[in-house]
Amino acid sequence: MSEHTITVAGVAVDTRHWIGGERVASAGTFTDVSPVDGGVLGEVARGTAAEAAAAVAAAREAFPGWAATPREERARVLHAIADGVERRLEDLAVVETADNGALLRSHRRGVMPRVAHNFRFFADWLLRLGHEDFDTRGHTNHVDWDPAGPSVLITPWNAPLMLATWKVAPALAAGNSVVLKPAEWSPLTASLLADIAAEAGLPAGVLNVVQGYGSEIGDALTAHPDVRRISFTGSVPTARRIAASAAANLTPLSLELGGKSPLLVFADADLDLAVDLAVEQYDNAGQVCLAATRILVEETVAEEFTRRFVDRASRLRQGDPRDEATDIGPTIHPRQLEKIEGFVQRAVEAGARAVIGGHRREGQYFEPTLLAGVAQDSEIVQEEVFGPVLTLQTFGDEEEAVRLANDTRFGLAATVATGDEERARRVTGRLVAGTVWVNCFFVRDLRAPFGGSRHSGVGREGGTWSFDFYCDLKNTVTSPKGWRDHG
């Protein structure tokens, strides 16, 4: 075992970059700390502009060969990567839980299987990607999806590997080479992915992984003139910086940003279902961009809804995410915990009332919290907290419900609980959101478009939409005239 290899939950992880099919160290490192117990996991290579340039150069060199690889072979390699993920599912699950604090049971049963599915789905979609030829005054139009080129993918810490492969899989399927930059708070499973991809036969340089801080390596990646696509999931301020960096080269961007999504509970809803949906928003300690953190309840059922919610939420178990009985784990980082606590303190000082929770606990834990008595224009209602903090507001009628739901700068998702099918159609048609769930939550299908409106993002990915982004679409128009007779 090399000096650059650490052992996390019994799994060996190389902490160097993966560039051009080789492990590459940096002069500096950063410390990776587990949110589970505050223990140091190891020192991770801290990339700079030099590593960024090397990674893009490797991707540029590898791109022509991978782009020219037949679709069937690209799909085969992606399926082989999925096979590797499934073989190492337990390794990936335990390492990611140690690295970002999400529930081990969720990683085992849902998240890591979804990682494998990401590769299988886009491999299969690639093989049926196409558009029927069509006629224009006797001329034939033929549409192609041409690989765009080296792609920089910058991913967040809340679901590190799943969200990384949501980008990596379609980019590779499209024929692009990739430079993946994982979040510095949770970089380890990206390193394991590099090993899995190499073992699956992905050519050197097609997937590169570089670690480090955005200010030190991210800017060098997003401003690089050889980069043809940038996909980012994260905060609005960082997205602005990336967009400004990419502007000089007119590099196309896909941005999936923050959310402040509403859950609308109408009086005709199944209240037990509505309460279950509301409590589900505490998943991953509230560190979910899609979470419906603004609970909007019709006045006539607000008291009963609140009573049932308190009863249900009080039974949640918060603690060690490695324990199968735990429902809510820790916050990712002390800085994030301080941010959450600050939001709640300021809200209470402004007149909000904590129906449940409201305090941090020992370690990196914040209690599941529900705040009532909040004003629509208050910070706690308008800004993303990214923690286990929900707000409760009431509305008098459908018109007010829609107005309150749409009254933020975000538009990532929305959830509606109602027993009236006609109302569901009316309300969902008026909500500003990239995804709307009715009487359910977090049902995701890779065939569907995904992305946000307003400050929640730019563009859509999923199914053919992903290939539309990662490719240059080309239409070839052919005249029936002018062919030579070779007979």
Place of tokens 């609005």: 236
For 189-198, b/e burial (b = at least 16 CB within 10 A) is bbbbbbbbbb
- Does the annotation count 256 as an active-site position? yes
At position 469, the amino acid (one-letter code) is F
Element (H, E) at 471: strand 471-478
Three-state secondary structure call for residue 445: coil
Q: What is 355-405 written as a DSSP string?
A: EE--SEETTTEE--EEEES--TTSHHHHS---SSEEEEEEESSHHHHHHHH
Residue type, 321: P
Query: Strand, coil or helix: what is 154?
Result: strand
| Secondary structure class of 431 (helix, strand, coil) | coil
Amino acid, res. 372: A
Tell me which of 289, 367, 384, 461 is the catalytic residue: 289
* Integer Cα distance of 173 and 136 in angstroms: 31
Structure tokens given for 166: 């949501």
Set 184, 216, 256, 461: catalytic member: 256
CB 135 within 8 A of CB 212: no
Nearest residue to 370 via CA among 432, 423, 475, 292: 292
Identify which of 272, 484, 310, 482 has the alpha carbon closest to the alpha carbon of residue 392. 310
Q: How far apart are CA 143 and CA 133, in angstroms?
A: 7
| Active site (annotated) includes residue 471 | no
Question: From the CA atom positions of the chain, what is the Rg in Å?
Answer: 24
Chain centroid to CA 211: 18
Known catalytic residues are: 256, 289
